[in-house]
Chain A
C-alpha cells in the first residue's frame, strides 16, 4: 500500500466543485499523491481508482445533502473488492439542514467511515490527523 496516496472525489450526483479543488491543493501541498476524481463520482469509481493506485485512503466529499444515501455500502463494496482495510474519510454538508453533528458522525461511522468532518472544521488539523492515522510524519 502507498501510505501517501489518497483518492479524492465528490460522491453521487453532487456538482459542488470548489471544496474539491481546495482539498486537492491542500493535500498535495501536504505531501500526498492525490488521485482526484472530481465531482459526480460513483462508489465504483472510488474503489477502482483505489485499487489501481494502491491508495491508503479514500476521501469522500458530499455537499448537497444526500451523503447518507450516496455513501451507504461503500465499506462493504471495498471489502468485496479486496481493499476492505482502506481508510475511509468523509466530509462536507453530509445531510440536509443543520442536524446535530454528533448524530451525523455516528451515522457515518456506523457505515464504516474512519473519520467524519463537518464543513467548518480546520483543514490543517484534519490533514494532520489523517497523516497520523496513515503513519506519515
Chain B
C-alpha cells in the first residue's frame, strides 16, 4: 500500500543545530538532509529557515504534506523523578519519565531532605514526576514530599502518579503552592508491577501544553502538522518500530548524555534462573547524565578511569588530560580521523557505550545453597538480542563506529551483566532514527520500509 502523502519534512531542533530531513513517501526514500546552527537565544525559526534554505538548494522547493518535529533544544525536557523505595516506586518513576523522552536529571527516594529540596530548586526542572506507595500502601511519604515540592519557589508542573488513596490530596497540596498538578494512575499500583503508560501520557500532554511554549518553541510548533515531541521520544518510537524485525538494543552517545534503549522482554534465557525484583518493560530507555563525550567528559573520565581511556586510545594519560581541556573550551571541536585526538574521542565514546550498557542491562547473581548454585536475575536479560544499533554524532561520525559499539557486548570481565552476546551491529550512518521515529507517528509501515532499506541489509534480516 502506498501512502497518499507525497513529501514529508522532519525537523530536529537541537541545542546547537536544527536538522532537516526531507522524505519522499512514494519512493520511500530520503531526498535530502541539512543542518544549520541555531540557539534558542537567537530564534529557533532562524535556524529552521537557514536549514530549509540549505535543503532547498539541494533538492529544490517542495510542497510538504506534513511537517513533523522533535526538540531537545533548551536542555530538552528536564525532569526529576521522586518515589519512595529506590528499587521500587523511585525506579518505576524513573522508567516512566525516561520512556516519555525526558532528560532525567535526578531521582530521589524516601522523604526529601532540605538539601534535596534545595537541589531540586537549583536544577530548575521543567517538570516533576511524583510517586510513592503502591495503591493501598504508604501515604505519608508522598504527602510529605508533595508539601515540600509545593513550597519550592519555582514554577513547574507536577505529574502525580503514586498511591491512589492520596494522589488527589497530594495534587491539592501542590496547587496550594501554585504548581499545576496532573493526577494520573500509579506507576506501581501493585508491588513490582509497572504501569508507566498513564504517566507517560500525562508527561506528553504537559509537554505539549506547557513546555513547548516555555522553551520558545511555540511559533515553530504552530508550523508543524503535529505537536513537537522530545527528540528521545522520537528515537524511542523508531526503536519500538524496529523491534518488529527482532529484539534490539540501541545506544545514542551524545555530548552531554548517553541514552540506551532496549526492545526485548528480557526474561531469563535459562529456565533455571529465578527472576528477582521489578520486571522491567519490553520497551525501556535509560539516560546517563554523567556519560557524554563533551559536556560530561569530566564525569565520564572519572567513572572510566583516565588510564583506561589512555590504554583504549593508545595515548598517554597526559594527552588525554590535554585533550579534555581543549574540548571543554571548545565543545564543538572535531578532529581529523587517525589523529591522537580522534582516537581519544573514540575511546571516550566507547566508554560511554560500555558503562551505559552495564547500567542498562540486567544482572545475574549466583547464590550458593545447600542444593548447589542458584542464579538470580534482576533487570533484563539482553544476551540474545538480535540487533545493536549505534547512533549519536560521536558514533556515526567516527572512523571506527563498530569498534565503539562493540563495547556494548557481553564480556568475560563483566560476566554477570546480561549484555548482548552476538547481535548484528548496525550504525545509523545517515542519522535517520529521529526522523524515522517522527514518521512512525503518521505512517509506521512506511517508516519501517524505509528503515529496512536504509539500515539493514538482506543478511541482517
> Once the chains bind, are A54 and B138 in contact (CB under 8 Å)?
yes
Complex-state Cα separation, A45 to B134, whole angstroms: 15
User: Which residue of B has the minimal Cβ distance to A36?
Assistant: B191
Contact flags (1/0) for B22-53 with A, using CB distance below 8 Å?
Answer: 00000000000000000000000000000000
B138 partner, pick from A37, A39, A45, A53, beta carbons under 8 A: A53
Tell me whether B188 is interfacial, beta carbon within 8 Å: yes
User: Which residue of A has the minimal Cβ distance to B135?
Assistant: A53
A54 partner, pick from B139, B188, B274, beta carbons under 8 A: B139
> Once the chains bind, are B276 and A52 in contact (CB under 8 Å)?
no
Chain A binding site: helix, strand, loop or mixed by DSSP? mixed
Complex-state Cα separation, A15 to B273, whole angstroms: 12
Tell me whether A111 is interfacial, beta carbon within 8 Å: no
Within 8 Å CB of A55, what residues of B? Answer: 137
Complex-state Cα separation, A67 to B87, whole angstroms: 25
Tell me whether B374 is interfacial, beta carbon within 8 Å: yes
Measured as residues with beta carbon below 8 angstroms from the partner, the interface class of chain A is 20 to 34
Complex-state Cα separation, A51 to B83, whole angstroms: 12
Highest count of chain B CB atoms <10 Å: which of A35, A64, A66? A35
> Once the chains bind, are B138 and A52 in contact (CB under 8 Å)?
yes
Q: A5-B136, A13-B367, A33-B136 are in contact. Are A51 and B374 (CB under 8 A)?
A: no
Contact flags (1/0) for B119-151 with A, using CB distance below 8 Å?
Answer: 000000000000011101111000000000000
> Once the chains bind, are A54 and B371 in contact (CB under 8 Å)?
no
> Once the chains bind, are B87 and A5 in contact (CB under 8 Å)?
no
B369 partner, pick from A5, A15, A37, beta carbons under 8 A: A15
Within 8 Å CB of B369, what residues of A? Answer: 13-15, 64
Within 8 Å CB of A35, what residues of B? Answer: 191
Tell me whether B88 is interfacial, beta carbon within 8 Å: yes
Q: A40-B374, A48-B87 are in contact. Are A53 and B191 (CB under 8 A)?
A: yes
Q: A13-B369, A40-B374, A53-B191 are in contact. Are A48 and B137 (CB under 8 A)?
A: no
Tell me whether B89 is interfacial, beta carbon within 8 Å: yes
> Once the chains bind, are A64 and B370 in contact (CB under 8 Å)?
yes
> Once the chains bind, are B374 and A15 in contact (CB under 8 Å)?
yes
> Once the chains bind, are A51 and B84 in contact (CB under 8 Å)?
yes
Complex-state Cα separation, A82 to B119, whole angstroms: 24
Min CB distance B72 to A, Å, is 33
Within 8 Å CB of A13, what residues of B? Answer: 367-370, 374
Contact flags (1/0) for B380-408 with A, using CB distance below 8 Å?
Answer: 00000000000000000000000000000
Min CB distance B53 to A, Å, is 55
Tell me whether B117 is interfacial, beta carbon within 8 Å: no
> Once the chains bind, are A15 and B371 in contact (CB under 8 Å)?
yes
Min CB distance B190 to A, Å, is 8
> Once the chains bind, are A52 and B137 in contact (CB under 8 Å)?
yes
Complex-state Cα separation, A15 to B372, whole angstroms: 12
Tell me whether A49 is interfacial, beta carbon within 8 Å: yes
Which residues of chain A from 1 to 45 have any CB-CB distance to chain B below 8 Å in the complex? 2, 5, 13-15, 33, 35, 37, 39-40, 45
Complex-state Cα separation, A40 to B273, whole angstroms: 12
Complex-state Cα separation, A45 to B378, whole angstroms: 12
Highest count of chain B CB atoms <10 Å: which of A37, A40, A45, A51? A51
Tell me whether B85 is interfacial, beta carbon within 8 Å: yes
Highest count of chain A CB atoms <10 Å: which of B84, B85, B137? B137
User: Which residue of A has the minimal Cβ distance to B111?
Assistant: A82
Complex-state Cα separation, A2 to B133, whole angstroms: 12
Min CB distance B171 to A, Å, is 20
> Once the chains bind, are A48 and B139 in contact (CB under 8 Å)?
no
Min CB distance A48 to B, Å, is 5
User: Which residue of A has the minimal Cβ distance to B190?
Assistant: A35
> Once the chains bind, are B89 and A52 in contact (CB under 8 Å)?
yes
Min CB distance B38 to A, Å, is 45
> Once the chains bind, are B276 and A40 in contact (CB under 8 Å)?
yes
Complex-state Cα separation, A5 to B136, whole angstroms: 9
> Once the chains bind, are B85 and A52 in contact (CB under 8 Å)?
yes
Q: A2-B137, A40-B276 are in contact. Are A52 and B191 (CB under 8 A)?
A: yes
Within 8 Å CB of A51, what residues of B? Answer: 84-85, 138
Min CB distance A106 to B, Å, is 25
Within 8 Å CB of B376, what residues of A? Answer: 40
Complex-state Cα separation, A66 to B374, whole angstroms: 16
Min CB distance A60 to B, Å, is 16
11 A/B residue pairs, CB under 8 Å, sorted by A: A13-B370, A14-B369, A39-B274, A45-B276, A48-B87, A51-B138, A52-B85, A52-B132, A53-B134, A54-B137, A64-B370
Residues of B within 8 A of A (CB): 84-85, 87-89, 132-134, 136-139, 188, 191, 274, 276-277, 367-371, 374, 376
Q: Beyond the given A35-B191, A52-B137, could you list 4 further A-B residue pairs with CB under 8 A, ordered by the A residue number? A: A13-B369, A33-B136, A49-B191, A55-B137
